[in-house]
């Protein structure tokens, strides 16, 4: 049963409205003035307040301002026997749901109450969902370097500054971007992610800017691009260091002008987006070698963030492991598994070239593939148990640069493959290549991964 507080200095109005609400199945409460109403809200919070404007002492608009400040989720409907447009506008700006004139139309009153309560329920549900999303995207870790990162997020999130996040693959750059969005003033709008490395060059314009129907073969209907979908919210460019120079030039113009045209269109579409970009590459080096535009770098790098690799925050591995154990045990419908002390020591000691993503995948595999409730050392993959290998000095028989480079690449990639259990996907993530690119490179170097994997 919804509770409604009626605030009016006229006893007759309090009684009549209270009787109507009671007949309609609501629990009616009453207060004769603003201070009494605030005390009532404090002691027994209602679901909605009907608040008169003209009252002795503090008027209703003044009380409304305090209610919105102290109880921001509580819907308030204003009532007035001699209201003006100016008063109604003030009340609306302060956050009143609606403004009703006296004498009250009870049909209109009940309809307004129904809509206001529904809005309140939706607002509460939205806050709960937002809290749940924040919990699922929480950045785990309490070592000093992670505490500093969280503090930076708390400071930067409410601003409109553009952000560039750097860090190795698997460190959680997108997680940081989502936390910034969820804690920003744009949190109620869209968070649109763009994987800059995954979109083919011939489709990039359509993906980013959209296209009109008939713009090209196969364009059978209008399509809104990522910029348009993110309007008012956050646009996240993941792995922006892999974006081609041609595409960099196109998005730089839009980021500066905040307008664009769909492919095949002529109308200018204006957008307001906050941009967060991430990369696992050294953009300073990419710029010096001509693969990344300096003007785009300086446009994006307003607020720089760096996400540390897992090997630099080993103290967080036990907490991360426990969180993954709880999550994957629940998803599999089994009791929460635990790791033995010896197993945890091995997990903490490992270098984790794939960072948090690799740890998460390993724990998921252990939860699914371990029969008992305790994960012992013998359940760990072989590459976690192998002692760390020192890369031997590479002796080059040839003096030709091209042959020396090829010999080094072969040696380097073989060592990385061995460290990652001859898993191509995991190795590709570690060395910063797409899986297909790594496979082509290995074939050109004569490295047969299948035979090595079979021999393990």
CATH number, domain with residue 287: 3.40.50.300
- Whether omega before 101 lies within 30 degrees of 0, making that bond cis, reads no
| 393 within a domain of the structure (yes/no) | no
- Does 144 map to a domain? no
In a domain, 247, yes or no: yes
If asked whether residues 70 and 213 sit together in one domain, one would say: no
Q: What's the CA gap between 129 and 232, in Å, rounded? A: 20
In a domain, 138, yes or no: no
Range of the domain at 351: 311-385
Q: Is the same domain home to 97 and 241?
A: no
Distance of CA 199 to the CA centre of its chain: 21
Shared domain check, 180 and 121: no
Final residue in a domain of this structure, among 101, 131, 161: 131
- What phi and psi values does residue 205 have, to the nearest 5 degrees? -65, -45
Query: Could you say which of 308, 334, 357 is where a domain stops?
Result: 308
295 and 413 both lie in a single domain: no
* 52/167 same-domain check: no
Residues 17 and 90 in one domain: yes
Tell me the C-alpha distance between 289 and 378, whole Å: 47
The pLDDT > 70 percentage for the chain reads 91
The answer to whether residues 235 and 188 belong to one domain is yes
Helical H runs in 7-84? 11-23, 34-43, 60-70
Q: Please, which residues bridge with residue 289 across strands?
A: none
Beta pairing partners, 14: none
* Burial degree of 327 (CB within 10 A; 0-12, 13-18, 19+): middle
- What is the residue-level pLDDT of the chain in tens, covering all 456 positions? 789 999 998 999 999 999 999 988 899 999 999 899 999 898 888 999 999 988 888 888 889 989 988 888 889 999 887 766 777 788 888 888 888 888 888 888 999 999 888 887 877 766 656 555 544 567 888 889 999 999 999 999 999 999 999 999 999 999 999 999 999 999 888 999 998 877 877 788 888 999 998 888 888 888 889 999 999 999 999 999 998 898 899 889 888 888 888 989 888 999 999 999 999 999 998 999 999 999 999 999 999 999 999 999 999 999 999 999 998 998 888 889 999 999 999 999 999 999 999 999 999 999 999 999 999 999 999 889 876 554 455 555 555 666 667 777 888 888 888 777 778 877 877 777 777 788 888 888 888 776 555 554
Quote the tokens at residue 388: 């760390």
Based on the domain organization, do 280 and 213 belong to the same domain? Answer: yes
Same domain flag for 225 and 325: no
Say if residue 183 is in the same domain as residue 304.
yes
Taking the C-alpha atoms of residue 326 and residue 321, their distance in angstroms, rounded to an integer, is 9
Q: Are residues 88 and 54 in the same domain?
A: yes
Tally of domains within the chain: 4
- Do 301 and 174 share a structural domain? yes
Q: Where are the beta strands (DSSP E) in 257-302?
A: 259-260, 269-270, 274-279
Q: Which CATH number fits the domain that encloses residue 421?
A: 1.10.10.60
The whole-model pTM stands at 0.61
């Amino acid at each position: 049963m919804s509770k409604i507080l009626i605030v009016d200095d006229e006893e007759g109005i309090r009684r009549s409205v209270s009787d109507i609400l009671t007949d309609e199945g609501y629990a009616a409460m009453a207060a004769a003035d603003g201070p009494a109403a605030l005390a009532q809200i404090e002691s027994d919070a209602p679901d909605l307040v009907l608040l008169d404007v003209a009252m002795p002492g503090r008027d209703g608009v003044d009380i409304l301002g305090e209610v919105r400040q102290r109880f921001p989720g509580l819907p308030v409907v204003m009532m007035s026997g001699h209201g003006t447009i100016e008063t109604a506008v003030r009340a609306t700006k302060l956050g009143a749901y609606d403004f009703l004139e006296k004498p009250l139309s009870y049909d209109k009153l009940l309809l307004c109450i129904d809509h206001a309560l529904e809005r309140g329920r939706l607002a509460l549900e939205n806050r709960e969902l937002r809290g749940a999303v924040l919990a699922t995207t929480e950045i785990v870790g309490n070592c000093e370097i992670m505490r500093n990162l969280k503090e930076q997020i708390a400071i930067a999130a409410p601003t409109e500054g553009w952000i560039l996040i750097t860090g190795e693959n698997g460190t959680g750059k997108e997680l940081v971007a989502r936390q910034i969005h969820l804690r920003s003033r744009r949190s109620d709008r869209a968070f649109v992610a763009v994987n800059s490395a995954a979109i083919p060059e011939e489709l990039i314009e359509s993906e980013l800017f959209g296209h009109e129907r008939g713009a090209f073969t196969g364009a059978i209907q209008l399509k809104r691009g990522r910029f348009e979908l993110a309007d008012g919210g956050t646009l996240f460019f993941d792995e922006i260091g892999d974006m081609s120079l041609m595409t960099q030039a196109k998005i730089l113009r839009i980021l500066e002008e905040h307008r664009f045209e769909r492919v095949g269109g002529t109308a200018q579409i204006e957008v307001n987006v906050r941009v967060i970009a991430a990369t696992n590459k050294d953009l300073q080096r990419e710029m010096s070698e001509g693969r990344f535009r300096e003007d785009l770098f300086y446009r994006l790098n307003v607020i720089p963030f760096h996400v540390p690799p897992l090997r630099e925050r080993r103290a967080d591995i036990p907490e991360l492991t426990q969180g993954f154990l709880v999550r994957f045990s629940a998803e599999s419908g089994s009791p929460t598994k635990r790791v033995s002390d010896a197993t945890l020591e091995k997990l903490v000691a490992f270098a984790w070239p794939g960072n948090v993503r690799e740890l998460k995948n390993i724990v998921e595999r252990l939860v699914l593939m371990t029969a008992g409730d305790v994960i012992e050392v013998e359940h760990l993959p072989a590459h976690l148990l192998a002692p760390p290998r020192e890369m031997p000095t590479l002796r080059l028989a040839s003096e030709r640069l091209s042959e020396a480079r090829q010999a080094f690449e072969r040696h380097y990639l073989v060592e990385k493959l061995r460290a990652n259990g001859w898993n191509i996907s995991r190795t590709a993530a570690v060395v910063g290549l797409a899986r297909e690119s790594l496979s082509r490179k290995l074939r050109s170097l004569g490295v047969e991964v299948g035979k090595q994997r079979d021999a393990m």
